[in-house]
Structure 1
């Protein structure tokens, strides 16, 4: 059976978790608390980068969420999470790349501020402005807020849903707000959403990790 190493507060792991549930792939969940257990000899042997997610399928070990999502889509094609149209595929890929290379990095200084680490005001302002620019771009994409559920919904949805905790209002993004409401009604999103207790318990560990970034 496929093994899935994850941490409840990891957005990277959550997107893989959602894909596994949506595609109804049987898997064994293996929890890491990221309290130092990611640095254990056992886990380091599996992933020398010492981070989640990790998927082990037979003898194949995969790290990095987008690579894992691509593998799951190719190896388990039932319940497809990629469209067939070439243009639509390109847009899904575009959204995923924007999230990974632009939106997610912009949340890092805001997350540092959230856990009580010092961050320069100018850095916070720049990050907030960048996130708003990306949200404005996403607001105009019918492919993101439409009715077909794809990898773009998973990758963007797990990130955009975290934006309000950084003090950024979604009031100016009615399409995105409605889209997030639809996503939050899906069983996969509900099952993988961290509880308030899990969030509070993970914050000290998250702070230690962010101190090194």
Structure 2
């Protein structure tokens, strides 16, 4: 059976978790506690970069969430979560990459920076730009690139659904708000949603990782 190494606080791990649940793929969950499990020899042998998620399927190891999602889509093609039409497929990939490269860094800024700081104000402006763009890309479809759930919805949904916890009012983006409501009606999304307490723990971990990264950056100068 496919093994899934994860922690529910990891947005990247939840991407894979949702994909597994939406595709109804049987799997063995392996919880990795982020206070040291990722540094243990057994896990390092599985992923020398100490990151989750990881899947091991019939002895084949895949790391990095987007690569895992593509693997699951190809090996377990039903239900299809990537459109075949070229423009729709490009739309899915575009939304995935914009979420990773444009949205998530701003989420980190909102978590780490003081809410009245210039950095937080810049993050909110950039998030507005992303949400306006997503509104245009979504158009009148139910999901990104399709009337059925796609991998883009999973990647973007995890990021966008965290925004109300950070003071972003999604009511200002009608189509995105309705899209979020469609996602949260799905059992897999209800199952994997972080509680308020878990989200606070996630924020604390983000702050610790940013402090560590900045310390290392300053030390190397």
User: Do both proteins adopt the same fold according to a TM-score greater than 0.5, normalized to the shorter chain?
Assistant: yes
Match of 2:166 in 1: 166
TM-superposed deviation, 1:44? 1.5
Is 1:83 paired with 2:83? yes
Please identify, of 42-51 and 175-184, the stretch whose mean Cα deviation from structure 2 is larger: 42-51
Q: Kindly report which structure 2 residues correspond to 1:9-158, keeping only aligned pairs within 5 A, or say none.
A: 9-113=9-113, 121-141=117-137, 142=139, 143=141, 144=143, 147-158=147-158
Note the alpha carbon deviations across 1:16-71, whole angstroms, 9 max, x for none.
10100111111001112211221222211211111111111122211111111110
Length-normalised TM-score, structure 2: 0.87
Distance 1:59 1:72 in 2: 14
Does structure 2 retain, via aligned residues, the 8 Å contact 1:109–1:119? Answer: no
Q: Is the partner of 1:3 in helix, strand or coil? A: strand
Q: What is the root-mean-square deviation in Å for CA atoms of aligned residues?
A: 1.9
Number of aligned pairs?
Answer: 209
Distance 1:29 1:199 in 2: 21
Q: Is the partner of 1:5 in helix, strand or coil? A: strand
Match of 1:184 in 2: 184
Match of 2:219 in 1: none
Length-normalised TM-score, structure 1: 0.90
TM-superposed deviation, 1:211? 2.1
Which ranges of structure 2 fall in alignment gaps of 5 or more residues?
Answer: 214-221
The structure showing larger relative contact order (alpha-carbon pairs under 8 Å, at least 6 residues apart) is: 1
Say if 1:70 and 1:128 are closer, same or farther in 2 by CA, change over 3 A: same
Say if 1:94 and 1:136 are closer, same or farther in 2 by CA, change over 3 A: same
